[in-house]
């Protein structure tokens, strides 16, 4: 695994509180990053290609649009030059609201950001403002680790989250898209889907997810349902463990979010790939920093 960093990284440029520094730049009160002030045509602006947020609160957009219609855009957006026009660095809600009220131009500050910084700022700004749902956050973490060759430990330092938080969020991407959508819509909680992640069959995961939503099952009820469904199959197998060890097996599987099987005198723990193995080792406290 690579320990590649983001060059200097935005933390080295801005410090820990990225949102406040970005706001200072937009207000013209920061000398950390100078840029050209200009008015730019909305038709020439494209979204940050690394923007992790896919959904916006329409009620907040409408409120912002009303304010812009009455007072205009006070705070410049941040943009960078692209092959065709400009790409947003920060200020997407202002752009959306300005388009809704029919503006042709908005005030902007032209800055010089590379692709890595665009990706990082798109994630950090939204995380600090708590704008992302958990699936958007998971996809953003996964994209940063893949593109920038970061370990979970590297990423935890960049975004100010614990490695355990990142591991728990990223494993949601193992769920079928239909179940991920239930999480986004807050029909399922993180606690609800934790036992589902241990399952390998997509149809089985979707079945239990629908049962949770339709019947309003608690987390404990979900675990009981899954246990009851598996008992007939277990009885057909050769003699297994006593009930206490079966409970231990299920407890370890839920804790590690993976398939676990306790056999006489050994334990089998399944993993998908090296990244998943490192996650499991981290959960067990066996991964060195």
CB-based contacts of 174, cutoff 8 Å, min separation 6: 197, 272
C-alpha distances (whole Å) from 168 to each of 48, 99, 131, 163, 273 are 26, 37, 18, 9, 16
Cβ 169 vs Cβ 137: under 8 Å: yes
The DSSP line for 33-61 is S--EEEEEEGGGEE--TT-------HHHH
The yes-or-no answer on residue 63 being catalytic is: no
Cβ 196 vs Cβ 175: under 8 Å: yes
Helix (H, G, I), strand (E, B) or coil at 241: coil
Catalytic residue, chosen from 92, 120, 125, 249, is 92
Distance from chain centroid for Cα 168? 10
Query: Whole-angstrom Cα distance, residue 162 to residue 226?
Result: 30
* Residue 62 φ/ψ, nearest 5 degrees: -65, -45
- Name the residues annotated as catalytic: 92
């Amino acid at each position: 695994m690579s320990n590649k960093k983001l060059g200097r990284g935005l933390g080295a440029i801005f410090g820990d509180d990225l949102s406040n520094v970005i706001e200072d730049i937009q207000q013209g009160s920061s000398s950390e990053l100078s840029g050209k002030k200009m008015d730019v045509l909305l038709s020439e602006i494209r979204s940050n290609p690394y923007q992790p947020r896919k959904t916006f609160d329409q009620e907040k957009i409408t409120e912002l649009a009303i304010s812009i219609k009455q007072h205009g855009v006070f705070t410049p957006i941040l943009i960078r030059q692209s092959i065709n026009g400009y790409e947003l660095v920060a200020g997407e809600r202002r752009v959306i609201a300005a388009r809704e009220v029919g503006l042709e131009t908005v005030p902007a500050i032209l800055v010089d950001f590379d692709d890595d910084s665009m990706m990082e700022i798109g994630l950090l700004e939204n995380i600090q403002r708590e704008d992302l749902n958990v699936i958007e956050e998971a996809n953003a973490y996964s994209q940063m680790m893949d593109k920038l060759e970061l370990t979970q430990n590297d990423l935890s330092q960049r975004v100010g989250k614990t490695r355990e938080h990142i591991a728990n969020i990223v494993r949601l991407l193992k769920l079928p898209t239909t179940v991920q959508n239930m999480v986004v819509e807050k029909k399922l909680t993180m606690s609800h889907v934790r036992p589902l992640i241990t399952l390998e069959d997509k149809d089985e995961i979707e079945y239990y997810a629908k049962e949770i939503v339709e019947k309003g099952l608690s987390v404990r009820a979900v675990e009981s349902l899954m246990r009851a469904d598996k008992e007939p199959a277990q009885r057909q197998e050769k003699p297994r463990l006593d009930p206490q060890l079966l409970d231990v097996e299920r407890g370890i599987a839920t804790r590690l979010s993976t398939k676990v099987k306790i056999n006489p005198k050994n334990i089998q723990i399944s993993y998908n790939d090296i990244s998943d193995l490192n996650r499991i080792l981290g959960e067990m406290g066996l991964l060195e920093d």
